[in-house]
């Protein structure tokens, strides 16, 4: 069949159709399965045939709040196979199994020198698209990876590691960045509020520091999953007082660190109250603008610190890839966090399930190419 790819004479590609299916965002709460052109690529770029893409909470917030213009194709926890390579690409071949970051920083600006990579202007550019305004593109059959991402944000997947496991590299990066910034000590007690997939990742990575990690969630079913990752101090938030329980786990002081892994602002005060005097509260899921009321004396007199962590860090990229890839064979199998898998044709249903978490739902994946493994 004809291809929409660049006609550059050095372009190499497998058989690629001219059109593909994609879940297209058309407005607030409006995602439609449509047929769109397969993206064109140019020199230095690659085209990925998507095998698996996780649905992230930030995708859902964009869909439900209308924070981004339409039309767009979201999805950024993406893994698949290289289907085409533009002129000048080195180190990759057709058929390579890869995962891809959709943001990478410049590495040279003031923010990069301070290692606050997510504030770099280049980082804010999205380098993966399935068409329309670049927005990740993983909710489609093919994704166009731009040149600066190919150079710094495209990672080969080792043999034997499933695409779904590899797709966790991006979210694990965001979590490890946050945990590293906390500089946890073995005698710390950490409370992680929320045991969805991200909460479990934050808790498991915190526990790897040697700290005691207490977890809170409304659903016992999620605590059962968390136990598979060595998390042994659950609080049933539906029946227990989270603040009292966290104090009981920390000799009455309160947690040294509280990580809030639940979106919205309703639990910010709970997180602050659960922290000991001099403790720290990390907001991880508060990615929408708004306002909250906070007693300033808690920060001044009680010396509690309120901080945040957003997106990924290129400084831990290699470490995370090693952790996720080798972890698959050594007990850190992240595919156990997946509760639902949908073919691309049913992506709207997948978004609906992910948007309405319940006891039986955890990580939701879209599988555009079910035959890939």
Q: Taken in order 190, 287, 337, 177, is the CA torsion positive or negative?
A: negative
Q: How far apart are CA 191 and CA 219, in angstroms?
A: 16
Q: How many CB atoms lie within 10 A of CB 3?
A: 17
The reported pLDDT for the residue numbered 369 is 73
Asked whether the beta carbons of 61 and 43 are under 8 A apart, the reply is no
pTM of this prediction? 0.95
Asked whether the beta carbons of 103 and 311 are under 8 A apart, the reply is yes
The reported pLDDT for the residue numbered 4 is 44
Q: How far apart are CA 187 and CA 255, in angstroms?
A: 11
Q: How far apart are CA 234 and CA 242, in angstroms?
A: 10
57 DSSP assignment = H
The reported pLDDT for the residue numbered 2 is 37
Q: How far apart are CA 82 and CA 76, in angstroms?
A: 16
The reported pLDDT for the residue numbered 9 is 36
The structural domains of the chain, with segments of one domain joined by +, span 12-162+328-367, 176-308
Q: Which residues have C-beta within 8 Å of that of residue 75, sequence separation ≥ 6?
A: 23, 50, 53, 55, 59, 130, 136, 137, 138, 139, 140, 366
185 DSSP assignment = -
Instruction: Identify the CATH number of the domain defined by range 12-162+328-367.
Output: 3.90.180.10
Asked whether the beta carbons of 261 and 199 are under 8 A apart, the reply is yes
Asked whether the beta carbons of 16 and 3 are under 8 A apart, the reply is yes
Where b means 16+ CB within 10 Å and e means fewer, 68-88 reads eeebbbbbbbbbbbbbbbbee
Q: How far does the chain reach from its first CA to its final CA, in angstroms?
A: 25
Q: How far apart are CA 87 and CA 42, in angstroms?
A: 7
72 DSSP assignment = B
Q: Which residues have C-beta within 8 Å of that of residue 245, sequence separation ≥ 6?
A: 214, 216, 235
The reported pLDDT for the residue numbered 106 is 97
Asked whether the beta carbons of 98 and 81 are under 8 A apart, the reply is yes
Strand, helix or coil at 321? helix
The two three-digit tokens of residue 270, written as one number: 């709970």
The reported pLDDT for the residue numbered 310 is 97
Asked whether the beta carbons of 373 and 157 are under 8 A apart, the reply is no
Q: 176-308 domain in CATH 3.40.50.720?
A: yes
Pairing assessment for the beta strands 77-85 and 97-100 based on DSSP bridges: antiparallel
Strand, helix or coil at 223? helix
In terms of Cβ atoms closer than 10 Å to its own Cβ (0-12, 13-18, 19+), residue 367 is buried
pLDDT tens digits in sequence order for the chain, 373 residues long = 334 454 343 566 768 999 999 999 999 999 999 999 999 999 999 999 999 999 999 999 999 999 999 999 999 999 999 999 999 999 999 999 999 999 999 999 999 999 999 999 999 999 999 999 999 999 999 999 999 999 999 999 999 999 999 999 999 999 999 999 999 999 999 999 999 999 999 999 999 999 999 999 999 999 999 999 999 999 999 999 999 999 999 999 999 999 999 999 999 999 999 999 999 999 999 998 999 999 999 999 999 999 999 999 999 999 999 999 999 999 999 999 999 999 999 999 999 999 999 999 999 999 997 556 6
The reported pLDDT for the residue numbered 291 is 94
């Amino acid at each position: 069949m004809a291809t929409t790819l660049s006609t550059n004479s050095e372009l190499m590609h497998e058989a690629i159709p001219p059109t593909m299916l994609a879940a297209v965002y058309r407005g607030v709460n409006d995602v439609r399965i449509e047929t769109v052109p397969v993206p064109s690529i140019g020199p230095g770029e690659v085209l990925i045939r998507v095998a698996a893409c996780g649905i992230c909470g930030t995708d859902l917030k964009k869909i439900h709040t209308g924070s981004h213009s339409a039309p767009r194709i979201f999805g950024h926890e993406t893994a698949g196979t290289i289907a085409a390579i533009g002129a000048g690409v080195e180190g990759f071949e057709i058929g390579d199994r890869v995962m891809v970051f959709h943001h990478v920083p410049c590495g040279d600006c003031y923010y990069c020198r301070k290692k606050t990579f997510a504030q770099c202007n280049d980082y804010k550019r999205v380098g993966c698209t399935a068409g329309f305004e670049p927005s990740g593109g993983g909710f489609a059959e093919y994704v166009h990876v731009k040149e600066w991402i190919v150079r710094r944000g495209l990672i080969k997947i080792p043999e034997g590691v499933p695409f779904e496991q590899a797709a966790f590299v991006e979210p694990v990066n965001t979590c490890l960045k946050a945990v590293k910034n906390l500089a946890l000590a073995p005698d710390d007690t950490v409370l992680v509020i929320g045991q969805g997939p991200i909460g479990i990742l934050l808790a498991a990575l915190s526990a790897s520091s040697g700290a005691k990690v207490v977890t809170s969630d409304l659903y016992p079913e999620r605590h059962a999953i968390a136990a598979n990752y060595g998390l042994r101090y659950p609080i049933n938030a539906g029946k227990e007082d989270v603040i009292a329980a966290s104090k009981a786990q920390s000799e009455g002081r309160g947690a040294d660190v509280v990580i809030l892994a639940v979106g919205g602002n309703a639990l910010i005060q709970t997180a602050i109250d659960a922290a000991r005097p001099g403790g720290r509260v990390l907001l991880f899921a508060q990615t929408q603008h708004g306002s909250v009321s906070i007693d300033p004396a808690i920060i001044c007199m009680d010396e509690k610190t309120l901080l945040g962590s957003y997106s990924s860090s290129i400084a831990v990229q290699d470490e995370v890839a090693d952790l996720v890839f080798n972890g698959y064979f050594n007990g850190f199998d992240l595919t156990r966090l997946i509760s639902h898998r949908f073919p691309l044709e049913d992506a709207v249903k997948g978004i609906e399930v992910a948007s309405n978490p319940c006891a039986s739902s955890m990580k939701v994946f879209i599988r555009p190419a079910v035959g890939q493994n």
